Amino acid sequence: MHELGIVFHIIRSVEQVAAENNLEKVSAVVLELGEVSGVVPDYLTDCWRWAAAKEELVSGSELKIETLPAVTHCDGCGRDYPTVAHGRTCPHCRSEKTWLLTGNEVSIKEIEAY
């Protein structure tokens, strides 16, 4: 549901990078998306197609999505575990004192342009 707003922010960031690097036409944007970022990749690419078509700089460009795994750290036993499989409760010691190490990223990794 928030994917369209995120796409507008990606386009704005790409426009800034393009201006700084004298890019005329972007052919692809590579996005790193954490497994628990709450962003749905399919919706995001649909929104991208719709919104990118309206901007000369990015029209027709591809949004490539690289998924980053979510890992949670447990303060109870000090171990890390995969977030998607176990959620917020540590599978080793059942502690709830856990926090996300990685997995909520929504970042632009690189831009392919000419």
| Cα angle for residues 48, 109, 34 (degrees, 5° grid) | 75
Comparison of 5 and 91: residue with beta carbon closer to other proteins: 5
**Residues in Cβ contact with 21 at an 8 Å cutoff, skipping those fewer than 6 apart:** 113
Q: Which residue has the tokens 């690189």?
A: 110
Looking at the chain, the number of H-run helices and the number of E-run strands are 3, 6
Q: Which residue has the tokens 């990794």?
A: 109
Q: Is 58 in the site for other proteins (CB under 8 A)?
A: no
Q: Is 59 in the site for other proteins (CB under 8 A)?
A: no
Q: Is 57 in the site for other proteins (CB under 8 A)?
A: no
Range 61-90, binding other proteins (CB under 8 A):
88
Minimum CB–partner distance for residue 99 and other proteins (Å): 10
Q: Which residues contribute to the site for other proteins (CB under 8 A)? A: 1-2, 4-6, 9-10, 12-13, 16-17, 21, 23, 27, 31, 38, 88, 96, 105-114
